Each structure stands twice: as C-alpha cells, then as structure tokens.
Chain A
Amino acid sequence: MVTFLHPWALWIGVAAATMPVLIHWWTRPRPVRFPLSTLRFVREAVRQQRTWRRLRDFVLLALRTLAVLLIALAVARPQWREPLQVSDLQGGDTIRVVLLDVSQSMAARAGAVEHIQRARTIAANYLRYRPGLAANLVLAGARPYGVFDGPSTNFEALRDELARCRALPERSDVNRAVDMAARWLAPASDNDRRRRELIVISDFQRSNWSKVDFSPLPGDTNIQFESTAPAEPPPNVAILGVQGRASRAGAQLDVEIGNETSATRKIAVDVTVGDATHRLTGACPPGRRTTLTEEIRSCPSGWWPGEARLAGVDDALPNDNVCPFVLHVRPRPTYILMTRQPRGRRATSSLFLECALAPAAGKERRQGGDASPRVIRVDPVALDSSVVASGDLIVLDHPGKLGDEAVKLLAALLRRGRPLLYVAADPIDATNLKRLREASGGSLQMPVEFTPPPAGHARRDLVLTSVQRESPPFEIFGDHLTSTLDQLRFAGGLGSRRLETGVDADVLGRYNDGSAAIVLTSSDAGALAVLNADLAASTLPKTAAFVPLLTELVEQLLDRHRATTRALSGEPLVAQLPAEAGPAHGLWTVGPSGVDGGRCGQLVDEAAGSVWRWAAAGQPGVYCVQRGDATVFAMAVNIPEEESQLDALTPDVLTGRMAAGRMAAYRGVADEDRRRDDSWKWFVLACVGCVMGEMGALIVFRT
C-alpha cells in the first residue's frame, strides 16, 4: 500500500499536470474562418503534416505532464507499506485495543530514536476520534494494565496516558496483556457485529514474543503488528548478571557479559564493591556469553552492595550496561552432626562424615587459620535446640529413634530453610523419615517412601546404576563418572517405593535393586537430602570419590538454603530472610538513592521465618533490609537479561503461526524508512529524464 508523507503535493501536482493542457487550450489561436477553393490541397498537406505533428504534440505533452507529476510525487514522498489490516478508512462500529510494549528493550535506540518514541507516534495515530470507534490502551510491562476498564471514546485521556508512558526496566508479560485485550474484544452478545481490532506495537523481541498466544482473542479479530525495530538488530553489549561467591581467598565475582554485536569486543567492566573498584577486562566473542572473573581478597563477611558498569561502551541499550548486585560473604559454615555413635577414632560412619565435612579443619587450626567449616556433634537423646538451630546444615547419621521433640524441631528448621542431610543406614531411619514427613505437614514431598529392608534380606554389594550425570553431585566427575561408580559398592540402607505425588527428578541416583540411593527434595524454604547407605559397610568412604561427592551434595543443600540475592524489576518478589535476621518487627527496607524505602514491599513473619514480599520489584538497584544500622539481608533488583537480546521475530512468524489463522498484517518501521528515503530520489531522476527526453524530442522532430 502506498501512502504519502505530503499528500497535499499530489493535489498540487495533479492541478499542475493539467496546466500544460489548459494553457494550450487557453492560449491556442482562435482560427480565422476562411473560405478556400483549394481545400483539397490544404487537407492533403495537413494530412501529411498531421501525423508527425500529432506524434510530436503527444510526446511533448506526455513528457511535460509526466515531469510535473513526477515532481509532485517526489515532493509528496510516497511510502510503500504493507497493506494494513486496520485502517480508519474502514467505517462502522469498531472496538480497538492498542497493545503497547513498554518493556526494557523498547528503550533501545536506533538512529538516535528510542523504540518507545516511535511506538508512541504510531499508537497516537490509532487513538484518534472516529465515529463509532471505541478504543483502549494496554501498556504491556511485567504487569500489564489498561488505561480504562474497557473500550472508551475518551481519546484525549488515552493519548495523555500514551504521552506519559516510558520504557520500564522489566520484561513484558505479553500473554497477560493479550488476555486483557481478549476480554475487551470479546463480543457482548451474539448480535454484537462490531469490528474488532488489535494493534500490537512492539519491537517483537524474540525472547519475549516467541511464546505469545493469541488464541484467547475472538476469531474475527483483525490484528495489526506494528514493529518499531530496525531490520537488523542494533548492536548491544550488556551485563547479564553478577554472581558473588565465597572463595578461599575471600570472594569471587563472576560478571557475565552478553555481546549481541557482529564482532568480538574487548570489554572493560568497572566493578564497585563497597568503596573499592575493580576493573575486569576481556574479549567477548559475538553472539555469546562471556564470564569475567575477579578475586576479591580480604573481604569481611557481610552484605556488600555493588555495581558493575561497562566502561567505554556506547550501544543501543545503555540501561543494561549497569548491573547492581549483592555480594554476601558468609562466615565459615557450621555443621551439626546428630548421631548416637561415640566420637573416637574407630572407622564409623559418623567419623567418615565428620572428616569429609571438614577435611582441613585440624590442619588449619594447627596453622592458626579459621576459614574451614566447623562440625559439632550432637546426641539426639540430649538435644539442645539452640545448638541445632545455630548450624548451617544438620547431618543425621545413625540417630536411632528420634524423639517427638527432635522430629518437631527438625521439621520446623527444615521449613524455615535449614537443610538436612540424612544418612539412612538403619531400619529405624525409615520410621524417622516417615515421622519427619508427617511433621512437615505435607510441605515435604518425598519422591519415594523409604521402607525397612525385608527381614533376612541383607542389602549389600549394591551398585549405582542410574544417576543424573548432568546434575550435582555426579556432575563433578565428568567423564570419569562411570569408572568412579564401578568401584563403589554400597551396603545397608533402606528399601524404597515410588510415591505417586513425588517428582522423579528428585531421585539423583538409584541402586541396581531399584531402590533410591540419593534423594534431594525441598520443603518450604529448606531442603532434605537422603543418602541411603551405611557408610561404614560401604566402600564409598574408602575411595577418592567420597569427599567430592559429599561436598557437592552439601553445597547443593546450602545453595538451596541460601536466600537468593537477585530479583527482577517489575516481577513479584518473595524472599525468605535468613534466620539471623530475626522477626520482622524492627526490620525495615532501604532502597537505592531516589527510592522511598517504605514503598518497597512488606516484611512479614511466617511459619518458616521472616519473609520480604513485594508485589512488583522496583527500579534496578540494591535494596537492603536492616535492623538498626546493621544490614541483615540485601537484594539486587536487575533488568531481565532477555531484554538485552534485541533480535526480533520475523513478520512471517507473527502473521502466520502466532496469529493462528486470524486476519493479521505486519508493518515495519525499518522498511518504511528505507523506502521513503529512496523513492523520492528516483522520482526526481525520472523527472530530469523526462525534461531531457522533451528536449531530445524537440530536436528530433525539428530535424
């Protein structure tokens, strides 16, 4: 379809094109009547001349008129567009919903113009008054909302809201926005024959739009896709995330860089932690993620807000060049080992566990260091709840029959986020696990139910035959996994049978008799791992695989226990505060500069501990939870990393598969710009050609 930037020029052009004819008509000589006897000779002479003269006149008039029309066309600036599915030229009663993407990617710039600016201009054209038209505007962010509760004729208010909208540092919940539009576009009754139009204005970012579902829309909805993205995705470099973890020297920062350009870029990242700034450099290949790592020495334990910033990068989306993060440096972990086995140097299961959990504790203590974990033996019979609660991980090995108080305590700690590692060796452990599950009140969904082995049936020479190779704790063995497992023989432990409500993925490994070997499952904020074997009777502690296997399993448990320190802007935030944060009373939140800390969600007490709830996380930055002046928890709110990937869906996918058979059309701003810039030049060139042709024709006919 052709539209014109200056349509008035066409009317002037048409008027001007008639001028040669009119001037000829007006100025043609009025013939003098003259009776002539020799008319036959005049007629013959005229007949001879007329063929040439008419040809000459026609050619000259055509070229002259064409030149005028071409000039008018060049001034009118024609723009070739795809045919629109929605047009104000189609009259009648119409419901129109304009769905405007306000996700972070709409802040990307192409030609010094942000996508959202183009989108606002396009949307404004659809929100103009026309008789019979009712419209509404949906701003599709993480939580889409409509300006009105339904289609309205208050176009003034719609345009005001449109003028105020900005790109938000969040992703777009497109399906929710489509559901909202579908509700308004749904026919009010069987006799509702109004035309239904949905205008979707976005950059149609692949990561956001690939799973959009238009099926909730009425079948007769006309969909018009208006793309603000250029034909080629603009070059963009982004910090996708920053991960901090404790290391032997202090802390380690992993900065993940995404390079969405066509060439390898040398990237420098300034990372600020507290008052210190570190510069990370490295080469990032195109289209890939690159992780830059930095060791931070002598970093005391605590919550450290930080910020990573790309240095010297000017790209399409500047907002993702900065990434706030929280570095939580923890003190050395404490393990509570609940066992009835006495401490000693006998080769008992608990001794193997103690040595494996803190392999270098004795050596470091001898050297005066204090970085290794600490293991505290606790007798389940004389249980001190405060000691148990102070541990980062509770390990149960040969605990015997647990008392009711112990079971309740363990269940409560489990719900509040304390991880448990249960080494099930004796038949009584099946009972303990069953009671623990019951005490958890259904929050503990075990994949299997452990049962005592049948009487007279000794479990020995068991071999691990089915393990999850790509997941911890077996992932660490890599290609040596098979040879490692071949040398392991297990004995003792419990039988197991599958539970209908369980998740098979929670069974990390199985023995050759089909019973579960290692189980890892969650319970509210906590996690429970069951190692189903008698370590003293198994060969595992005597092999090199024992320590890494147990360490990986413990790390997995602790990671689940550790509260996440990263949230996404605009998304709901629910964070379990660490146990040391205490009750919610006396806690408050502090936001980044410019953000009111009192409007950063709620801190509430729940059964598992204090919880920070926020319906929609605010703008990117570091938010801290403090008691007094002490920070007890911190959370970094980031832009979703998929917003940094600016490649768009192709029009065919949108109008074909996505539209699901509905009438749909696509229009891209990029094509429009390119064609608009080119066409007028060709018209001017053609006009010059016409003038030259006219001169040539005059010369030819004269000779």
Chain B
Amino acid sequence: MNERLASRFLDLRALSALEPMRFTTRRRVEGTYMGYHASRQLGGSGEFVDFREYTGGEDLRRLDWKVLARTGKAIVRLHEEETDLSCTLAIDASGSMRFGAAGRRDATGSKLEYVQYLATALSHVISRGQDQVGLAVLNDALDSWIGPGATMSHIERLQQVIEGIATHPSPRMAGGLRELFERCRRRGALLLMSDFLMDDLEEVFAALRLFRHRGWDVVVLHVVHPDEERLPDGTAYRFEGMENDGQVSCSPAEVCTAYRERFAAHLAMVRQWALAGGCEYRRVSTAVSYLQTLGGFLVARAG
C-alpha cells in the first residue's frame, strides 16, 4: 500500500488481528462477482442445498435426472450460489457528531473521529474479504457518495474521503438517506453510523425502512459518547448547541435527573424504532476502543 495515500485512521498493525475475520450478513445478498456470501440466486453451480419438487416452467437443467430415473419423481436440485457483498458505510456528518472533540479545529476524541476509525477499519476488513465497500456521508443531503467497489485504489479513495469528513451543523439526515436509497440499485448491506440526535428521526427510520423493504441488510450503529449520558458536574453551565440550536444556561445539578431520563428514553426509542424496522441495532460507546467494538461486531455477525 502506498504510504503516502494511507489514511491516518487506518492502523494496519492494530487491524492485523481482525483481518482473518469477515463481515458476514444474515441475509442473502446480491453480488456482482463470486464471493463468500450466500447469494439470493439459487443457481446450479454452487453448493447443494436441498431438493424440491419440480414445478412447471422451471429450468429443466436443474432437474435431477438420476432421481427421476430411479424414483420417477421430478425433483429439482437446489444449489446455493455465493457472491460478493456490496456494503455501504453511511456516516452521519451532522454537527452533533463533533461532540467530544478536543477543540474547535481538533476533532480528537469526538464521535466523528471514533466513527472515522471504525469506518476505516470496517472498509479495510470488508475489502480484505473481497467484498465491495461503498461510502455515503450523510447530512441534510447526501454529502458524499462513493459507490461500492473492492479495488485497492477504490478503498484508498474511500478511506481518504472518510478521513476528510467534516461536520455540518444540520440537524436533519433523512434527506441524505433518501438520496442514498435512490442511488443504490443493488441489494447489499447498509451500516449506518450515527448518534441519531436529529430533528427528523422518524423520517430517518422511514428511510431505513425503505432499504429494508428492498431487502437490504441494515445495521444501525448508535454512537454514544459517555459524556452525553450524564451532564458534567458543576454549578453553572451554558450549554451551546452544535447544530445552531442555541444555548441554555442552567445548573446541571437541577436538571441532571430529568436529563438522564430523557436521554435514556431517547436511546430506548432509537433502539425500538430500529428493531421495529427490521434493522440490527448496536449501541457503540466511544468509551470502548473501536477495535474492540469492531471485533465484537464481527464476531456477533459471524454468529
């Protein structure tokens, strides 16, 4: 790999332990090339899966002639085809993703940085599995989009884009998702990494349902910063919104309980809506190393 083009979020040494692992889907996928994932097509060149009685109109080439001769019954042999995976990484680039950043210009420690690490690692792992990886940077509109691809250069370009993601103070994401949905023609896997702190949450999940309806394998990675779960200690804070939503001065001690209740309700609501929409939901805390998160995620996917 060209060192000059390597993303700063790509730590090959750390990822070396995860390289043998593959990102698998729990549903059949549509691929372009041969791969390791079960295809939605049950062709005749793949691994035998099952017999089934012949029904009129079926391809006679799948008829098991030997069984027909032996038993007189028209039985069709079913073979599972394997294809490659088309995985799209959708990254929320709203202003709230900068939470936890060390400074105005330094995003170190932010949710976005965490997602950048995670997405880069995922792209690396997925590409190592000969699968195609695409990228969508979501905002009120589709900020950036790179179609699925598996070539080295594609992955490098994708990782470069991930490295260059900048947040926009927009509290909406549904528009970007809908645009992404319109651009994606083939079924695949969609990994949405977001904190789900947005005004159009219902519309976002409505858009995700569109993906699911088309047969996409949708994985929702809910990124949570530990400092979001509880307010800081202190007598007076002026909390400033990160998406042009003003500021609020208060004493955290007076509102901490109500805040915790509301935040917990928000987490529960996102989880509930995700599961109800047929999506896989995983809460990702930035307090946990992205490698650990990725490993856990891959293991869980591998079943």
Residue ranges of A at the interface with B (Cβ–Cβ < 8 Å): 28-46, 48-49, 53
How would you classify the secondary structure of chain B's contact residues: helix, strand, loop or mixed?
mixed
Give the A-B contact count at a CB cut-off of 8 A. 88
Contact B249 A31 (CB under 8 A): yes
B47 CB within 8 Å of chain A? no
Contact A40 B245 (CB under 8 A): yes
B152 CB within 8 Å of chain A? no
Contact A46 B248 (CB under 8 A): yes
B48 CB within 8 Å of chain A? no
| Measured CA separation A661–B247 after assembly (Å) | 68
Q: Which residues of chain A have C-beta atoms less than 8 A from B242's C-beta?
A: 35-37, 39
Contact A34 B239 (CB under 8 A): yes
Contact A31 B238 (CB under 8 A): yes
Q: Which residues of chain A have C-beta atoms less than 8 A from B111's C-beta?
A: 37
Contact among B96, B97, B234, B255 for A42, CB-based, below 8 A: B255
Q: Which residues of chain A have C-beta atoms less than 8 A from B243's C-beta?
A: 37
Contact among A31, A35, A41 for B263, CB-based, below 8 A: A41
B236 CB within 8 Å of chain A? yes
Q: Which residues of chain A have C-beta atoms less than 8 A from B97's C-beta?
A: 37
**Which residue in chain A gives the minimum CB-CB distance to B231?**
A42
Contact A32 B96 (CB under 8 A): no
Most chain-B CB neighbours within 10 Å: which of A29, A33, A45, A49?
A: A45
A-B contact pairs, 21 of them (CB 8 A): A33-B238, A34-B238, A34-B240, A35-B240, A36-B242, A37-B95, A37-B98, A37-B195, A37-B225, A38-B197, A39-B239, A39-B248, A40-B245, A41-B266, A42-B248, A42-B255, A44-B258, A45-B259, A45-B262, A46-B250, A53-B254
Shortest distance in angstroms between B12's beta carbon and chain A's nearest beta carbon? 31
Beyond A33-B240, A37-B98, A49-B254, list 20 extra A-B contacts (CB 8 Å).
A29-B251, A30-B236, A35-B98, A35-B99, A35-B240, A36-B99, A36-B242, A37-B195, A37-B228, A38-B96, A38-B266, A39-B241, A41-B259, A41-B266, A42-B255, A44-B258, A45-B255, A45-B262, A46-B248, A49-B255
Contact A46 B99 (CB under 8 A): no
Shortest distance in angstroms between B85's beta carbon and chain A's nearest beta carbon? 32
| Measured CA separation A32–B232 after assembly (Å) | 10
| Measured CA separation A29–B234 after assembly (Å) | 10
| Measured CA separation A49–B234 after assembly (Å) | 17
B237 CB within 8 Å of chain A? yes
**Per-residue A-contact encoding for B251-268, CB less than 8 Å = 1, 0 else:** 100110011001100100
Q: Which residues of chain A have C-beta atoms less than 8 A from B247's C-beta?
A: 39
Contact A34 B197 (CB under 8 A): no
Known A29-B235, A37-B96, A38-B263; contact A45-B258, beta-carbon cutoff 8 A:
yes
| Measured CA separation A680–B102 after assembly (Å) | 62
B57 CB within 8 Å of chain A? no
**Which residue in chain B gives the minimum CB-CB distance to A35?**
B240
Interface bracket on B: 35 or more
Q: Which residues of chain A have C-beta atoms less than 8 A from B197's C-beta?
A: 37-38, 40
Residue ranges of B at the interface with A (Cβ–Cβ < 8 Å): 95-99, 111, 195, 197, 225, 228, 231-232, 234-243, 245-251, 254-255, 258-259, 262-263, 266
Contact A43 B99 (CB under 8 A): no
Contact B240 A36 (CB under 8 A): yes
| Measured CA separation A43–B248 after assembly (Å) | 7
| Measured CA separation A440–B153 after assembly (Å) | 159
Shortest distance in angstroms between A28's beta carbon and chain B's nearest beta carbon? 7
**Which residue in chain A gives the minimum CB-CB distance to B229?**
A38
Shortest distance in angstroms between B233's beta carbon and chain A's nearest beta carbon? 11
Contact A48 B240 (CB under 8 A): no
Q: Which residues of chain A have C-beta atoms less than 8 A from B246's C-beta?
A: 39
Q: Which residues of chain A have C-beta atoms less than 8 A from B98's C-beta?
A: 35, 37
Q: Which residues of chain B have C-beta atoms less than 8 A from A41's C-beta?
A: 259, 262-263, 266
**Which residue in chain A gives the minimum CB-CB distance to B241?**
A39
Contact A32 B99 (CB under 8 A): no
| Measured CA separation A33–B234 after assembly (Å) | 12
| Measured CA separation A387–B99 after assembly (Å) | 141
List the 3 closest pairs (A to B, CB-CB), nearest first: A37-B96, A45-B258, A29-B236
**Which residue in chain B gives the minimum CB-CB distance to A50?**
B250
Contact A32 B234 (CB under 8 A): yes
Shortest distance in angstroms between A46's beta carbon and chain B's nearest beta carbon? 5
Q: Which residues of chain A have C-beta atoms less than 8 A from B231's C-beta?
A: 42
Contact B245 A42 (CB under 8 A): no
Contact A31 B255 (CB under 8 A): no
Q: Which residues of chain B have C-beta atoms less than 8 A from A34's C-beta?
A: 232, 237-240
